[in-house]
Amino acid sequence: SGFTSMVAEALYRDAASGIVYAGSFPPKVGLLTEYTVHWVVKNYATDVEKVKVRASLPLEVEWTGMVKASGDSVPLFEEFTREVVWTIDKIPAAKGVVNAPLEAIFQIRATPTSGQVGNFQTILFNTSLEATDMWTGLSLASRDAALSTQLTDDPTVAPDQGRVVP
């Protein structure tokens, strides 16, 4: 059977995305800071279908509606469940292996609370991918860890810079 993987990354400074950001960094209690989240999906040996990438937003985090994607669909925000969901009908074999992966970018804004001072604020809970292998019919799954203001994927941010300040 095939293998489909996904990676979730968050950035504060993301000029390459073309999405304008606002807010202070390090994050400050009671003030909004905007981030971009990148979901990168690669598919290996077989075609897959019915792909869903999803993650929930914490209560202190809002969806801005700014979104881009390299494929035919974009992530949408389901307000009732507080989930960001990207539905992809089909991904051909080797997408992202021999050519560019699928990528979706969306913007969120977070407002830290006083209880988070000195800590990194969670800005997106664990991301999961589910798909169906079109050759075997088996379910495929991939997961990535929650994202925080630690912003380990942002080269413009120092390791401890994302801790919430008063």
DSSP string covering 146-160, please?
-EETT-TT-TTS-TT
- pLDDT above 70 covers what percent of the chain? 99
Residue 127: what pLDDT? 98
Residue 96: what pLDDT? 87
Residue 97: what pLDDT? 87
pLDDT tens string 28-74: 999 999 999 999 999 998 999 999 999 999 999 999 999 999 989 99
- Cα 114 to its chain centre, rounded Å, is 25
Residue 154 to residue 139: CA distance in whole angstroms: 32
Residue 4 token pair: 């489909």
Low-confidence ranges of the chain (pLDDT < 70): none
Q: What are φ and ψ of residue 20, in 5° steps?
A: -75, 140
Strand partners, 4: 43
How long, in residues, is the chain?
A: 166
